[in-house]
């Protein structure tokens, strides 16, 4: 599916052998725990514990054998994640940032497809490996993807780190919301579905805070700092939802007890109330299209009234949904 193009004089970098993903992700543990604590204080909820474990550690007694775990445990008032889950989100975040910025520049330059080079291939590979981690142990870190570090060396690495912590904040807030709202670990299918929406909504409300888009700003004008913050949080929530879509697809989770990803996107973005020319919507839609529909016509019309970032995101989420829908449904 990926077209191979050769770059003479640029040797392809080999992947980097690793022992396991615990060692790869551990350098960020202090920042992850600090973020979790601060998010908890902001939400003003009773304190729950964050447990970070090895794959397999939490699998006792249930059939969920995914290596990438993010879950709430009501009986213990714990939110649990695995190092592999964190690594998977890291790779997806890197991919979104790289694909989003490459697409952004391509659009601005009037290109209707993305030139395939090593930088783009690293991003596509990162998102594919992110998904594989659900079931597979990773022994090689993909070349061209930055290692997590609390002190990044480049601007892009720092952006990946900050976006990663923010999208992780959304996912952990979603799990914390299950505890806060008193959801049970198992329930009827209808209630489980409703619980997912309720946890998404609560997480979005916590992260959004009082921030609002400026209704008086004309399209294309520079947003206020408040609106830029709102956009930043919507982008983080969007990355989290893209990761959830990857995970549920690869894990073979049917839509029986998990609502459709397109509906989840819609409901979360409604809470953020983004403007039609939202930068977050543009980055998210570009990313999804660059990932799943690189050869498609993703340069949506030129009529600014119709070709809003919001409309582009609706279209992209539909692509995401139709590509990732469990087979047979």
Residues that bind Zn ion (CB under 5 A): 196, 199
Cβ burial of 21 (10 Å; 0-12, 13-18, 19+) is buried
**Min. distance of Cβ 196 from Zn ion in angstroms?**
5
Taking the least distance from each CB to Zn ion, the nearer of 83 and 247 is 247
User: Token pair for residue 287?
Assistant: 């990313």
Taking the least distance from each CB to Zn ion, the nearer of 73 and 292 is 73
Taking the least distance from each CB to Zn ion, the nearer of 22 and 134 is 134
Terminal Cα-to-Cα distance of the chain (whole angstroms): 24
**Min. distance of Cβ 199 from Zn ion in angstroms?**
5
DSSP for 144-203, please give it. TSPPP-SS-SSHHHHHHHHHHHHHHHHHHHHHHHHHHTT--SS--HHHHHHHHHHHHHHH
**Min. distance of Cβ 276 from Zn ion in angstroms?**
30
**Min. distance of Cβ 188 from Zn ion in angstroms?**
15
User: Token pair for residue 171?
Assistant: 């996912």
Taking the least distance from each CB to Zn ion, the nearer of 84 and 175 is 175
* Separation CA 91–CA 307 (nearest Å): 30
Residues 6+ apart with CB under 8 A from 158: 152
* Separation CA 203–CA 177 (nearest Å): 6
Taking the least distance from each CB to Zn ion, the nearer of 199 and 239 is 199
Taking the least distance from each CB to Zn ion, the nearer of 22 and 167 is 167
Taking the least distance from each CB to Zn ion, the nearer of 124 and 179 is 179
**Min. distance of Cβ 83 from Zn ion in angstroms?**
20
Which DSSP symbol is given to 27?
Answer: G
What's the number of CA atoms in the CB half-sphere (13 Å) around residue 106?
22
Taking the least distance from each CB to Zn ion, the nearer of 199 and 284 is 199
User: Token pair for residue 22?
Assistant: 């615990």
**Min. distance of Cβ 255 from Zn ion in angstroms?**
14
Residues 6+ apart with CB under 8 A from 304: 219
Furthest CA-CA distance within the chain: 59
Beta bridge partners of 218: none
User: Token pair for residue 166?
Assistant: 């923010």
Q: How are beta strands 70-73 and 49-53 bridged, if at all? A: unpaired
**Min. distance of Cβ 71 from Zn ion in angstroms?**
8
Q: Say whether 16 sits in a helix, a strand or coil.
A: strand
**Min. distance of Cβ 182 from Zn ion in angstroms?**
14
């Amino acid at each position: 599916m990926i077209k191979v193009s050769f770059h003479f004089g640029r040797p392809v970098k080999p992947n980097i052998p690793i022992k396991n993903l615990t060692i790869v992700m551990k350098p960020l543990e202090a920042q992850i725990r600090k973020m979790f604590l601060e998010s908890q204080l902001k939400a003003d909820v009773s304190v729950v514990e964050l447990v970070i474990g090895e794959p397999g550690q939490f699998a006792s007694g249930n059939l969920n054998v995914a290596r990438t775990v993010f879950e709430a445990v009501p009986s213990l008032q714990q939110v649990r994640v695995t190092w592999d889950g964190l690594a998977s989100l890291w790779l997806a975040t890197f991919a979104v940032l790289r694909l989003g910025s490459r697409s952004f520049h391509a659009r601005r330059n009037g290109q209707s497809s993305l030139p395939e080079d090593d930088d783009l291939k690293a991003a596509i590979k990162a998102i594919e490996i992110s998904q594989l981690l659900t079931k597979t142990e990773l022994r090689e870190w993909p070349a061209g993807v930055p290692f997590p570090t609390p002190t990044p060396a480049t601007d892009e690495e720092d952006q990946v780190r900050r976006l990663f912590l923010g999208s992780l904040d959304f996912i952990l807030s979603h799990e914390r919301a299950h505890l806060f709202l008193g959801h049970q670990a198992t329930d009827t299918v209808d209630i489980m579905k409703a619980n997912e929406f309720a946890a998404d909504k609560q997480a979005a409300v916590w992260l959004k805070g009082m921030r609002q888009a400026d209704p008086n700003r004309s399209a294309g004008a520079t947003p206020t700092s408040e609106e830029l913050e709102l956009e930043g949080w919507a982008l983080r929530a969007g990355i989290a939802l893209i990761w959830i879509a990857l995970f549920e697809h690869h894990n073979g989770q049917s839509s029986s007890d998990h609502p459709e990803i397109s509906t989840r996107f819609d409901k979360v973005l409604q809470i953020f109330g983004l403007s039609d020319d939202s930068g977050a919507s543009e980055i998210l839609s570009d990313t999804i299209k660059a990932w799943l529909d690189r050869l498609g016509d993703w340069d949506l019309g030129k009529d600014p009234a119709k070709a809003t970032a919001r409309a582009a995101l609706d279209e992209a989420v539909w692509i995401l949904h139709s590509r990732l829908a469990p087979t047979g449904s």
